Amino acid sequence: MITIENLSKTYIQDNKKIIALKNINLNIEKGEIFGIIGLSGAGKSTLIRCINRLEEPDSGKIIIDNVNITNLNKNELREERKGIGMIFQSFNLLSSKNVYDNIAFPLRLEKMDKKDIDKRTKELVKYVELEDKINSYPAQLSGGQKQRVAVGRALANNPKVLLSDEGTSALDPITTKSILALLKKIRDEFNVTIIMITHQMEVVKDICDRVAIIENGKIIESNTVEELFRHPKTKISRSFINSLNINTDEFVPLPKIDHGKLIRLSFSKENARKPVVSDMIKKFNISVNILSGNIYDLNKTSVGYLIVQVDGENEEIEKSLSWLNNQGINFEVI
């Protein structure tokens, strides 16, 4: 649905080149909630702003539903942008307009019939659950309510794509969950494709189907969220997972072991019920010492880790590892 090909963007500041994006390639499916996570300065905002050309890329293509956005002239771009809603960390509401008028704003720009504007606006106010605040001004709303207004406004023209640039970063954890639930409901009911730019792993964990990790303007890892949790490939993806504040191998300092091997077993919902550790001990002449473990509840499934020390004769350890392999259990010697 959205294809990004060899996208690059450089800024010039004080005669210095800042490479914000370097050869970004991504494919995002229709109806998918796709996360792009990275640290500050990684290039996230530049990337999402290039998608609707709020920022002009230097080179590369952005294709949405077979339309090459990068080739459009101003008028064509204006038309195409109606199908791309966007929400921001700072909400970007019109402070002099109330909830109703903020949400009606894009419809008025379309010069829709007054009655239709009224009907659609009230429908949207109801959808984002702000009927009791319809006459309130942004200054009279909480952060979560402001973001609901922004979501209502972004939905006004029935977009096929919704871009969220740190849409939940300014919100407390409970309000974040309620905005994420609203975005998920929008995807489920309208099959809207959602791209979530974030630095919060919580967002990726809770609603994303797939995720790309961006560092220094490059995508360094891209996978389903489940696979990312099961096999984080890069240091940064591991640290994002650790940032969820749950004990993992890097949170709990692992003891230095003189013998045996340290292994991280990872389980998905399907194999979480297998008595892997006790079977290993029964089948092989080894001891297994459990050091730490946890379970992450993801959008559609859950993934668990267990860090264990496997000890015994080398040959027995190797046999037990190949048995694990044959059982289809994911593990990594760490």
Ligand X SMILES: Nc1ncnc2c1ncn2[C@@H]1O[C@H](COP(=O)(O)OP(=O)(O)OP(=O)(O)O)[C@@H](O)[C@H]1O
Q: Which residues bind ligand X (CB under 6 A)?
A: 11, 13, 18, 20, 38, 40-46, 199
Nearer to ligand X, 44 or 160 (CB): 44
Quick one: 48 or 104, whose CB is closer to ligand X?
48
Dist. CA 282–CA 320, nearest whole Å: 10
Smaller CB separation from ligand X, 15 or 322: 15
User: Shortest gap between Cβ of 258 and ligand X (angstroms)?
Assistant: 43
DSSP state letters, 164-231: EESTTTTS-HHHHHHHHHHHHHHHHHH--EEEEEES-HHHHHHH-SEEEEEETTEEEEEEEHHHHHH-
Q: How far is the CB of 49 from ligand X (least distance, A)?
A: 8
Could you tell me which residues are beta bridge partners of residue 219? 214
Q: How far is the CB of 166 from ligand X (least distance, A)?
A: 7
For ligand X, the closer of residues 40 and 66 by Cβ is 40
> In the bound complex, what is the minimum distance in angstroms from residue 61's beta carbon to ligand X?
19
Shortest reach from residue 51's CB to ligand X, in Å:
12
Identity of the residue, 46 or 164, whose beta carbon is nearer to ligand X in the bound complex: 46
Beta carbon nearer to ligand X, 15 or 40: 40
List, in sequence order, the alpha helices (H) in the chain.
Answer: 44-51, 74-81, 99-109, 114-127, 143-155, 173-190, 201-207, 225-230, 235-242, 276-283, 314-326
Helix (H, G, I), strand (E, B) or coil at 56: coil
Smallest distance from the beta carbon of 43 to ligand X, in angstroms? 4
Order of strands, sheet of 218-224, starting from the edge strand that comes earlier in the sequence: 84-88, 161-165, 193-198, 33-37, 210-215, 218-224
Amino acid letter, residue 123: E
